[in-house]
Structure 1
Amino acid sequence: MSKGTYTLLVELAADATVEFGAAGERDLSAGWYAYTGSAFGTGGFARVERHRELAAGERDARHWHVDYLLGHPDSRIADAVKTADEDAECEVSRAIEGDGGPAVESVAGLGASDYDCDSHLQFGPERAALERAIRAAHADSEDR
């Protein structure tokens, strides 16, 4: 079973207010979101498939902040990028924001409650720039 760090590329088709459980409501703009998580638990990268099932409406239980975004009817997972055997959530998340250009920004306080970084969710208005930043961040984590 493979384990590591993953990033979901999520499209939000329309502006939305999303309730993120105990983290509260956030007004989100339509566009593209990158959520970086770790898959070091018993299921490893099966967690990514669980996220896909939730986004498709096949599951209801929300365990992580991203599940609230994925459960919104205007969201969909467009892609998932994985790096096996690397525990690099914060590094990848920070690199996505840094490499994505000035339009990419963090959504504060989401997905990082058990880490020392501000957020594991970034927003970018355009898919291409955000996707390039995701792929570069994962490639850099593999090179360490």
Structure 2
Amino acid sequence: MPRGTYTLVLELTADASVEVGALGECAFEAGHYAYTGSAFGAGGLSRVDRHRDLVTGAREVRHWHVDYLLCHPATRLREVVTTEGADVECAVARRLPDGPVGGFGSSDCDCESHLATLGEAPIETVRTAHERARRDD
């Protein structure tokens, strides 16, 4: 399985309050979000399959901040954008809009958050962030 950086494009179909591990109770408004992570371990981008399993309820074990949001019944995984062979996780996250929760998914770096709140054209916004990160970094 290839390794690389990925962004999950999520839709929250209703406002939600979610307990997010050590971050505690977090409020999310209905709308589109993007979570950016990296997968350079042995399983590579198969990590995305694990995320899909969480959304569908086929898996329940939570390890990362995003897992808590993925397990919420109002969360839908709309698309996954990947950049294979490049560790551009932070570069992509910096190119996306600010998110609703500081420190979300970014406890191991200096980024404010790896969860972005997306407005119009959420998938195109994420694709552009990946293209620019790959080109510029």
- 1:45 is paired with a residue whose SS is helix
TM-score normalised over the length of structure 1: 0.90
Provide the residue aligned with 2:22 in structure 1: 22
Counterparts of residues 105-124 of structure 1 (less than 5 Å): 105-107=98-100, 108-124=102-118
The answer to whether the Cα contact below 8 Å between 1:81 and 1:135 also exists between their aligned partners in 2 is yes
1:132 shift after superposition: 1.8
> What is the Cα deviation at residue 133 of structure 1?
1.6
Displacement of 1:142: 2.3
Shift, 1:70, TM fit:
0.4
- Secondary structure, in 3 states, of the residue corresponding to 1:83? strand
Could you tell me which residue of structure 2 aligns to residue 100 of structure 1?
none
Number of positions where the alignment pairs a residue of Structure 1 with one of Structure 2? 135
The one-character-per-residue Cα deviations of 1:19-61 (angstroms, maximum 9, x if unpaired) are 1011111110000010000011111000001000110000000
Q: How many angstroms apart in 1 are the aligned matches of 2:88 and 2:2?
A: 15
Q: Counterparts of 2:127 and 2:59 in 1: how far apart (Å)?
A: 28
1:89, distance to aligned residue in structure 2 (A): 1.1
Measure how far apart 1:124 and its partner are: 2.2
Stretches of structure 2 lacking an aligned partner (at least 5 in a row): none
| % identical equivalent positions | 53
Which ranges of 4 or more aligned residues in structure 1 deviate by more than 6 Å?
none
Contact kept, 8 Å, 2:88 with 2:134, in 1: the verdict is no
TM-score by length of 2: 0.94
Q: Map 1:1-144 to 2 at 5 A.
A: 1-97=1-97, 105-107=98-100, 108-126=102-120, 128=121, 130-144=122-136
| Structure 1 unaligned blocks of 5 or more | 98-104
Write out per-residue CA displacement over residues 56-112 of structure 1, whole angstroms, 9 at most, x where no aligned residue.
000000011111000000001000000011111111011012xxxxxxx32311000
- Measured on the aligned residues, the alpha-carbon RMSD in Å equals 1.0
Q: Distance in 1 between matches of 2:129 and 2:117?
A: 15
